[in-house]
Protein backbone atom coordinates (compact mmCIF):
# COMPACT_ATOMS: atom_id res chain seq x y z
CA UNK A 1 0.00 0.00 0.00
CA UNK A 2 1.34 3.42 -0.97
CA UNK A 3 1.31 5.95 1.89
CA UNK A 4 0.99 9.54 0.66
CA UNK A 5 1.26 12.65 2.83
CA UNK A 6 -0.94 15.44 1.48
CA UNK A 7 0.21 19.01 2.01
CA UNK A 8 -2.45 21.58 2.82
CA UNK A 9 -2.62 22.92 -0.74
CA UNK A 10 -3.50 19.44 -2.07
CA UNK A 11 -6.89 19.63 -0.35
CA UNK A 12 -7.85 22.70 -2.40
CA UNK A 13 -6.93 20.82 -5.57
CA UNK A 14 -8.93 17.73 -4.55
CA UNK A 15 -11.93 19.83 -3.54
CA UNK A 16 -11.87 21.44 -6.99
CA UNK A 17 -11.80 18.09 -8.80
CA UNK A 18 -14.68 15.75 -7.87
CA UNK A 19 -13.31 12.99 -10.11
CA UNK A 20 -10.02 12.91 -8.17
CA UNK A 21 -11.90 13.07 -4.85
CA UNK A 22 -14.11 10.15 -5.87
CA UNK A 23 -11.15 8.08 -7.02
CA UNK A 24 -9.23 8.72 -3.79
CA UNK A 25 -12.24 7.82 -1.65
CA UNK A 26 -12.47 4.47 -3.41
CA UNK A 27 -8.81 3.49 -3.64
CA UNK A 28 -7.73 0.71 -1.30
CA UNK A 29 -4.10 0.61 -2.45
CA UNK A 30 -3.36 4.23 -1.47
CA UNK A 31 -3.43 5.46 2.12
CA UNK A 32 -3.62 9.23 2.46
CA UNK A 33 -2.09 10.85 5.50
CA UNK A 34 -1.99 14.26 7.07
CA UNK A 35 -0.06 15.61 10.05
CA UNK A 36 -1.30 17.94 12.77
CA UNK A 37 0.53 20.77 10.96
CA UNK A 38 -1.72 20.55 7.91
CA UNK A 39 -4.82 20.19 10.08
CA UNK A 40 -3.91 23.39 11.93
CA UNK A 41 -3.42 25.16 8.60
CA UNK A 42 -6.84 23.97 7.42
CA UNK A 43 -8.41 25.10 10.71
CA UNK A 44 -6.96 28.57 10.08
CA UNK A 45 -8.73 29.06 6.72
CA UNK A 46 -10.68 32.29 7.24
CA UNK A 47 -13.73 31.42 5.12
CA UNK A 48 -15.91 29.32 7.43
CA UNK A 49 -17.73 27.40 4.68
CA UNK A 50 -14.54 26.60 2.78
CA UNK A 51 -12.77 25.67 6.03
CA UNK A 52 -15.58 23.24 6.84
CA UNK A 53 -15.40 21.60 3.39
CA UNK A 54 -11.61 21.27 3.58
CA UNK A 55 -11.69 19.77 7.08
CA UNK A 56 -14.47 17.38 6.09
CA UNK A 57 -12.46 16.31 3.06
CA UNK A 58 -9.34 15.74 5.17
CA UNK A 59 -11.34 13.69 7.69
CA UNK A 60 -12.93 11.55 4.98
CA UNK A 61 -9.71 10.86 3.08
CA UNK A 62 -6.86 10.85 5.57
CA UNK A 63 -5.48 9.28 8.68
CA UNK A 64 -3.54 11.62 10.95
CA UNK A 65 0.11 10.87 11.67
CA UNK A 66 2.92 12.85 13.13
CA UNK A 67 6.58 12.97 13.90
CA UNK A 68 7.81 14.49 17.17
CA UNK A 69 8.91 17.66 15.39
CA UNK A 70 5.47 18.06 13.79
CA UNK A 71 3.85 18.77 17.13
CA UNK A 72 6.03 21.84 17.77
CA UNK A 73 5.88 23.58 14.40
CA UNK A 74 4.99 27.27 14.60
CA UNK A 75 6.38 29.31 11.70
CA UNK A 76 6.27 28.61 7.97
CA UNK A 77 9.74 27.08 7.79
CA UNK A 78 9.11 25.17 11.00
CA UNK A 79 5.90 23.86 9.45
CA UNK A 80 7.76 22.76 6.29
CA UNK A 81 10.38 21.00 8.40
CA UNK A 82 7.67 19.28 10.43
CA UNK A 83 5.77 18.13 7.34
CA UNK A 84 9.00 16.82 5.80
CA UNK A 85 9.90 15.01 9.04
CA UNK A 86 6.46 13.42 9.30
CA UNK A 87 6.67 12.40 5.65
CA UNK A 88 10.12 10.89 6.06
CA UNK A 89 9.01 8.94 9.12
CA UNK A 90 5.62 7.71 7.93
CA UNK A 91 5.16 8.03 4.16
CA UNK A 92 6.30 6.85 0.76
CA UNK A 93 5.67 10.19 -0.93
CA UNK A 94 4.85 13.81 -0.08
CA UNK A 95 2.32 15.56 -2.34
CA UNK A 96 2.48 19.35 -2.54
CA UNK A 97 2.47 22.27 -4.95
CA UNK A 98 4.74 24.23 -2.59
CA UNK A 99 8.09 24.23 -4.42
CA UNK A 100 10.00 25.25 -1.30
CA UNK A 101 8.55 22.37 0.71
CA UNK A 102 9.18 19.88 -2.10
CA UNK A 103 12.80 20.99 -2.37
CA UNK A 104 13.32 20.88 1.40
CA UNK A 105 11.75 17.43 1.69
CA UNK A 106 13.63 16.08 -1.32
CA UNK A 107 16.91 17.32 0.16
CA UNK A 108 16.07 15.27 3.27
CA UNK A 109 15.46 12.05 1.37
CA UNK A 110 11.67 12.26 0.99
CA UNK A 111 10.16 11.21 -2.34
CA UNK A 112 8.07 14.15 -3.57
CA UNK A 113 5.43 14.74 -6.23
CA UNK A 114 3.55 17.87 -7.18
CA UNK A 115 -0.21 17.45 -7.33
CA UNK A 116 -0.40 17.00 -11.11
CA UNK A 117 2.24 14.24 -11.03
CA UNK A 118 0.43 12.61 -8.10
CA UNK A 119 -2.82 12.53 -10.07
CA UNK A 120 -1.13 11.28 -13.22
CA UNK A 121 1.14 8.66 -11.62
CA UNK A 122 -0.69 7.53 -8.49
CA UNK A 123 -4.38 8.41 -8.64
CA UNK A 124 -5.07 7.41 -12.22
CA UNK A 125 -1.80 5.75 -13.23
CA UNK A 126 -1.73 3.22 -10.41
CA UNK A 127 2.06 3.19 -10.64
CA UNK A 128 4.54 3.55 -7.88
All residues at 6 or more sequence positions from 13 whose CB lies less than 8 Å from its CB, including other chains: 20, 97, 115
Please report, for residues 12, 35, 54, the alpha-carbon distance to residue 120 in angstroms, rounded to integers and kept in the order given.
17, 24, 22
If one counts the domains in the chain, the total is: 1
Q: Is residue 128 part of a domain?
A: no
Instruction: Give the CATH number of the domain where residue 17 resides.
Output: 3.40.50.1010
Q: What is the pLDDT of residue 121?
A: 96
Domain span including residue 38: 2-123
Across the chain, which has 128 residues, the per-10-residue mean pLDDT values are: 96 97 96 94 97 98 74 60 88 95 91 97 78
Report the distance separating Cα 124 and Cα 48, nearest Å: 31
Amino acid sequence: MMRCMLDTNAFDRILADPEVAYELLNRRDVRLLVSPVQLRELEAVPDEARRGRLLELAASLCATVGADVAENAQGRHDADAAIAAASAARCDVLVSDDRGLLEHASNHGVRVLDFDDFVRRIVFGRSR
